[in-house]
Amino acid sequence: MPLIQRHHHQGFELITAETEHASVTVIPELGARLLSLRDLHSGREWLWRPEGPLRLWRNRPGDPFPLGTFVGADECLPTIAPCTWQGRELPDHGEVWSQPWTLDEAAIAAGCIKTSITLTNSPFHFCRTLTLENGVLRLDYSLQNIGSASEAWLWAWHPLMTLEPGDRLSLPYDAASLLVETARKPDAVRGECWPWPESKPGLRLDKLELSGDDSYVKAFAGPFQKGWARLENPTSDACLTLRWDAARLPYLGLWLTRGGYQGWHHVALEPTTLPTDSLAEGVNENCPPRLAPGSTLSWSLEISLGAATYHASSDSARGGC
């Protein structure tokens, strides 16, 4: 069982679970965001934050996402892009990142960090349980439709991750191309397809390259037969392997900024239900999953830290999960 500690920063409670291999820190009051995910062997902090002292603040429901802290990993539900769906105005990056979640004290005593929230606009109750064992962080989710009608929804994990020289990104073999949502240097129109991993001649996204220090891209890969992605650095031996159920989450959003957004350099690997940021557009184009009234759907993610953890798996030679 991990050691769980509680402390405060700028008036917010931070909860940290730690084993000899890894640590994870959650802020329930700030959208249950993950503030930190650290590999204690390599010393690598995998979750990105702006440079300088850590600054935290509370957002209001419906705030544009750029008014947030841009710290760590958020949950996006039931949309990413703001849109109107069934008469509801769905805010930027969804309803749950900007509001406090309820912490389950009994789960803390059992060695887990369990948080939940009932959405204010959409008829959903959303729950997430974090379990840390050795160097593997497991995130178990459940989504319940508490309304009286079948509901469409879009979910994406939204982790901003650090970049270091020499980092490499691996994706499944069926990631032959990326569907671009937006891009700058190289510029692209929405809906353009880029080959993976060499998006343009001499430009390799597996090396996390773009054209200069004022570039960015948001794109989608998939649908996948198996859900996994891996960031590793051969020089430092740091490795993060993300695995998920592709039957539940067929797509992966990829956000990479090389100075093009506020001068920042980070990457986000975003398992998701749809290859679009907008629930309203996804309903029109991609037939998103629907949840019957009273029904509950579950899914999970696993994040393995450390090269030893990854290479110990039987499929490491194939690069899969």
Model confidence at 267: pLDDT above 50: yes
Give the model confidence (pLDDT) of 240-252 as tens digits: 999 999 999 999 9
pLDDT band at 320; cut points 50, 70, 90: very low
Of 158, 1, 145, nearest in space to 70 by CA = 158
pLDDT, residue 286, reads 64
Q: Give Cβ neighbours of residue 134 (< 8 Å, ≥ 6 apart).
A: 19, 20, 21, 22, 309
Query: Reading across the β-sheet that carries 102-103, which strands appear in turn?
Result: 102-103, 113-118, 124-133, 136-145, 296-305, 238-244, 227-233, 168-170
Angle at 78 between CA 72 and CA 80, to 5 degrees: 55
Report the SS3 class of residue 34: strand
Nearest by Cα to 141 from 302, 301, 312, 33: 301
Q: Which domains does the chain have, with CATH numbers?
A: 3-318 (2.70.98.10)
Q: If you search the block for the tokens 């999970």, which residue do you land on?
A: 300
Closest CA relative to residue 267, chosen from 190, 138, 139, 169: 169
The model's pLDDT over 10-33, given as tens digits with 9 standing for 90+, comes to: 999 999 999 999 999 999 999 999
Cα Dmax for the chain: 54
pLDDT at residue 285, as a whole number: 66
Q: What percent of the chain has pLDDT over 90?
A: 90
CA 140 to chain centroid = 13
Return the pLDDT at 183: 96
Instruction: For 184-219, write each residue's pLDDT tens digit.
Output: 999 999 999 999 999 999 899 999 999 989 999 999
Q: Is it the case that residue 269 has pLDDT exceeding 60?
A: yes
Cα–Cα dist 99/62, whole Å: 9
Rounded mean pLDDT of 229-239? Answer: 94
Q: Which contiguous run of DSSP H or E holds residue 282?
A: helix 279-285
CA-CA distance, 190 to 281, in Å (whole number)?
13
Task: Give, for 310, the enclosing helix (H) or strand (E).
Answer: helix 307-311
- Over 60: is that where the pLDDT of 308 sits? no
Q: pLDDT at position 318, please?
A: 30
- Concatenating the DSSP letter of every residue in 181-209 gives EEEETTTB-TT-EEESSEEETTEEGGGT-
Q: Is the pTM of this model over 0.75?
A: yes
pLDDT for the residue 289: 77
Give residue 288's pLDDT: 74
Distance set, CA 6 to CA 25, 29, 98, 112, 318 (Å): 9, 13, 21, 13, 40
At residue 309, the pLDDT reads 45
Contact 94, 79 (CB under 8 A): yes
Residue 102 carries which side chain, given as an amino acid letter? T
Please state, as a whole number, how many other Cβ atoms lie within 10 Å of the Cβ of residue 189: 8
Q: What are phi and psi of 196, to 5 degrees?
A: -115, 135
Q: pLDDT tens-digit profile of 274-299?
A: 999 999 999 876 677 799 999 999 99
Q: What is the bridge-based pairing of β-strands 12-18 and 3-9?
A: antiparallel
Identify the band that residue 321 occupies on the pLDDT scale cut at 50, 70 and 90: very low
The pLDDT tens digits of the residues spanning 49-60 come to 999 999 999 999
What distance in Å separates the CA atoms of residue 288 and residue 291, rounded to the nearest whole number?
Answer: 10
State residue 212's pLDDT score. Answer: 87
- Looking at this protein, which amino acid is placed at residue 104? D
